[in-house]
Amino acid sequence: MGMELFLHNQIAYESALKLMETSRKAAVIHPTGTGKSFIAFKLAEDFPQSRICWLAPSEYIYQTQLENLRQAQHEGEEIKTDSICFLTYARLMKEDAAGISALRPDYIILDEFHRCGAAEWGKGVLRLLSEYPKARILGLSATNIRYLDNQRNMAEELFDGCIASEMTLGEAIVKNILPAPTYVMSVYSYQEELKKWEKRVSSVENAGLRTANDEILQKLRRAVENADGLDRVFARHMKEAYGKYIVFCSGKEQMEEMKSHAGDWFSLVDKCPHIYTIYYDSTSSRKEFAAFKEDKSNHLKLLYCIDMLNEGVHVDDIDGVILLRPTVSPILYLQQIGRALSAGKSKQPVIFDIVNNFDSLGCIDSLTEEMDEAFRSLYGKREQAEGFSEPFQIIDEVKNCRQLFWQLKKNLTASWDIYYAAASSYRSTYGSLKVPKAFTTKNGLTLGSWIQTQRRIKAGKIGGRLTEEQIKRLDTLGMIWDFPAKESWEKGYQALSVYYQKYGNTDVKADYVTEDGYKLGKWVSNLRQQKKHGELSPERIQSLDALEMIWDKNAYLWNRNYQAARQYYEENKHLKVPASYCTQDGIRLGNWIQNLKQIYAGKKKTAAALSEEQIRQLDAIGMQWEKKTYRRTNAKVRGSAASASLIL
């Protein structure tokens, strides 16, 4: 008995086969939870003699998909995956010519193919595709658009628009492929929001307008006082008291803060909830995730995570998700709520949209718009929908607060045309639209904030709508849409160029600040991270390389110190360097040599071990090691050339 796909995936699979036969490539764009990975596993089952190269953002995603496959198999059934060779996009990027030649794929699976738009990952994929022009390519993703990358359409770039099947999250819900969730909206922090609006009302110059808005503000204060706390909100809407919920946070600092509130927020559901934590650079994430999935106890289970479950990984028995990110892009938002949805799931999940400002509560609009569009496309009108009972329910726990907030906002916010006139006046006065974020006009218009908002709306970073006409009108004023990112690059590069000309290198300390107050060290550190994650364009990398950019600080320090040691050896015919010795250019060579000896002897166990290559290099210039105090095997003494750089 072969693998049985859900009907929507079977249709997509057959369409993909036809497209790959005629056009050699096919993309399937289905929302999270619909079982896209099973389409690729079906391909492996139907073509067991073909070699399949499966690419994905992480091994973690692929292993979880294999686990889901095993759980979906019938008793006694085993679906072979021997023909699949798995690689992460990062590993493919580093493969040499021999490694690429050994793959010889008949089919290439690009899982989460929108990620192929990253600069370095994309190079690896294009190299593989050019090496095997006859291989058939199947792409899987919940989105083909890179919203924060100039809205690039990866289905067009990689698949020439050959889309076998495309479905939105709203469409999947309307078609009953995914369960319609209960959607609960609330806010976890009112005080900062109130302070912001109190300040704005007090700054209104018109006395009558200030009085009218102060009355609304007083009503908002009373509404906030009467609003239920999150402990009651969770107790009222968590249908599964001992259920499993994924809690999405924006960063480690926020995550720790949110975890500290768990005892209060969930006290009416479970006084002792089981809390798990995962994020990409945590070594315990795999163990924590496994423990969360296996937890069958009579306790509430909360999995706090940062980014790690945004895509690819799916857990079948999730009862809901809790969104604690203040603002997210439309695709990230839909990916996160998709964690609670799964094709074939019978129970109705709960989505808690708990953010720290009222503006962020507009994210739900993207889902309701998709559902409305699906109704219009499929049925014409909602009344004509076949088999859709529309259990999708939005529960607004802060409705009164939001209504008063929006009334305040409407009263205090001028229309688009008034702001545009202010922008035009600024352009005439200052010659550009490089408006500082905090800039306010004489009439009290927050022009700097408004300009920034227009950029973020156009980039898809926040909800909102800019018409083509409005975009054209701003273009006539010379709007710089990627400002301040572009200006930040130009300012940072100029500062680094000055540093390079002055010191002859780019060895900028992390806390280095220029004479005019620019944090150059922080900017350089961010560049290294951007390159590491494939977020720097080839053009910018080339410009930085022209300044002899130090991409690996530890490797640079090792090479610098080693060359100083080598020069000392050549001049003195030994490496008995006094501990206090310092070279003419400031390298504390004696201290460095002593540290290396302590590491080698095992006396400095907190430091990284020396690699065999580093030991060989030092032996070649007469290094006299201290006696070891621990056993070291050649096979296990490993490390990069950066491991013993010892920043001194």
Residues 250 and 326: beta-carbon distance below 8 Å: yes
Residues 162 and 27: beta-carbon distance below 8 Å: yes
Structure tokens at 146: 């890179």
Ranges under pLDDT 70 in the chain:
1, 60, 71-79, 147-150, 190, 204-209, 280-282, 307-316, 326-335, 338-340, 342-346, 356-366, 379-392, 412-415, 443-444, 463-464, 483-488, 605-608, 627-648
As a whole number of angstroms, the distance between CA 21 and CA 14 comes to 11
Structure tokens at 240: 């599964």
Structure tokens at 432: 């550009």
DSSP string for residues in 459-499: TTSSS----HHHHHHHHHTT--TTTTHHHHHHHHHHHHHHH
Asked if the bond preceding 538 is cis, omega within 30° of 0, the reply is no
pTM (predicted TM-score): 0.56
- SS3 annotation, 191-222: HHHHHHHHHHHHCCCCHHHHHHHHHHHHHHHH
427, amino acid identity:
R
Query: What integer pLDDT is reported at residue 599 of this predicted model?
Result: 82
As a whole number of angstroms, the distance between CA 200 and CA 223 comes to 19
Report the number of secondary-structure helices (H) and strands (E) in the chain: 26, 15
Residues 409 and 368: beta-carbon distance below 8 Å: no
Query: What integer pLDDT is reported at residue 331 of this predicted model?
Result: 59
As a whole number of angstroms, the distance between CA 425 and CA 429 comes to 6
Q: How, if at all, do strands 244-248 and 320-323 pair?
A: parallel
Sketch out the chain's domains with CATH numbers. 7-167 (3.40.50.300), 182-404 (3.40.50.300), 414-476 (no CATH), 485-545 (no CATH), 553-648 (no CATH)
Structure tokens at 584: 């003419």
Structure tokens at 300: 């509430």
Residues 183 and 394: beta-carbon distance below 8 Å: yes
DSSP alpha helix (H) spans, 299-361: 330-337
Structure tokens at 586: 């400031």
Q: Give the rounded distance of the alpha carbon of 77 from its chain centre.
A: 37
As a whole number of angstroms, the distance between CA 508 and CA 525 comes to 9
Sequence-distant (6+) residues with CB within 8 A of 54 are 40, 62, 84, 85, 86, 87, 109, 111
Query: What integer pLDDT is reported at residue 434 of this predicted model?
Result: 83
Sheet holding 25-29, edge to edge: 84-88, 52-56, 107-111, 136-141, 25-29, 163-166
Structure tokens at 504: 């002859």
